[in-house]
Amino acid sequence: MDILEGIRVLSFNHFLLGPMGTQVLADLGADVISVEPVGGAFQRHWGGANHKVDGETMLHLCGNRNKRSLAIDMKSPEGSAVIEKLIETADVLSENFRPGVMDRLGFGYEAARKINPKLIYAAASGYGQDGPYSERPGQDLIIQALSGLANINGSENQPPTPVGVSAADHHGAQILAMSILAALFRRERTGKGTRVDVDLLSAALDLQNESLVCYTNGATQSQRPPPNIAGWYFPAPYGIYSVQDGYVAISLGSMETLARALSLPSLNNFDDDSVFQRKKEIAALIQAAVKDLNLVDLEAMLEKEKLWYGRVNDYSAVLRDPQIQHNGSFVHIKSAAQTPITLLAHPAKYDGQRPEVRLSPQPLGAQTREILAELGYSGREIEQLAKNRVVHTA
């Protein structure tokens, strides 16, 4: 994919939001250089399920394809000189340290734009660059709690329930990529560099846009939905219902149509207002009607009336799903050590094609020599930097 061919991105990122956001740019053809400490960034040392392939964590694998790795001691004078040379060549600098860290390293926004006035400087943080929480550690679970996201999950008879993935990180990564692309477009038109600021807290609020707009404009009833219903501001039947061999999500549909589908005439007693005000009662009636059915029979009943529904898949079923397979949502490649691995594909197509994986997630410092050579360092100078532990070479 050559959409961003010729764009160089320096990624001083760790954990998930920053690496995944810059991976979007890498997928689109940008030359993304992942700048890491000589001991490796956080994502190389911790990852989901405590599982590794070729010694690499799942957190590293999911956010670092199509990138080159430079391992360097930025605090050393020699390392600092390398970073300055890199900034001179870059279009984008992206970092997600806590506010002030890059300033202390000598490469905050003001210092970086003096080196390269046309630079797009994209900073991601937990809460924003200033304010009462700016120095706090920003992490997805904490953000879900503070933003209200955890509180609206789970039904009224359950405690607050966090989303089972790092939702704010994932959404924040897409906002980061979008914002960088917008700034690049502006620079193409005006020649101006831009500072971009993205934060996890804003990303988590953005995920709740409809819910928060309902609440702030007068719909202030309980934010904990009754059993089966999927969210506090949704009407019945919108939710998930258990059957003998699994679960089915039933989305929007008229009570008249649902009454026919389920042979449940009592649903005809509820009007358009009732589906909001009496959703607990309606959901209980539906659950009682379907509990002894199996998935195939219920799906046939709902399909006959053209209702909106879908069975609840576990991951095994997700991988077998014919539409997911048709879409090419998973890619099967080989790791840097030639071990078969599976990655989630880039989520969009361009002229009918998804961006390919040009480079599997790389070992620490795999391209250190290559990048330094591009900056004009000789082989002898690179060997000396490696000997002095200014850089790490794979």
Query: How many other CB atoms are there within 10 angstroms of residue 148's CB atom?
Result: 16
In angstroms, the CA 234 to CA 223 distance is: 10
Residue type, 80: S
Eight-state DSSP code of residue 350: B
Select from 307, 14, 325 the least CA-distant residue to 173.
Answer: 14
Look up tokens 């399920």; give the residue: 49
d(Cα 217, Cα 202) in Å, to the nearest integer? 19
* Euclidean distance between CA atoms 305 and 299, whole angstroms: 10
Tokens of residue 129, six digits: 């660059």
Distance (Å, whole) CA 56 – CA 359: 15
Cβ distance 240 to 228 under 8 Å? yes
* Cα–Cα distance, 85 to 375 (Å, whole number): 7
First vs last Cα of the chain: how many Å apart? 27
Amino acid, res. 147: S
Written as six digits, the tokens of 36 are: 């890491």
Q: Of how many residues is the chain composed?
A: 394
271 is catalytic: no
Listed residue (124, 232, 110, 254) closest to 179, CA to CA: 124
User: What whole-number distance in Å separates Cα of residue 291 and Cα of residue 243?
Assistant: 4
The 3-class SS string of 315-378 reads HHHHHHCHHHHHHCCEEEEECCCCCEEEEECCCCCECCECCCCCCCCCCCCCCHHHHHHHCCCC
CA 110, 112, 116, 119 torsion: positive or negative? negative
d(CA 274, CA 276): 5
Residue with tokens 């009462």: 132
Separation CA 199–CA 351 (nearest Å): 32
Amino acid of residue 209:
N
Half-sphere exposure of 92 (CA within 13 A, CB side): 35
Active-site choice (73, 91, 140, 169): 169
Q: Give the residue carrying structure tokens 């660059």.
A: 129
Active-site residue list: 169
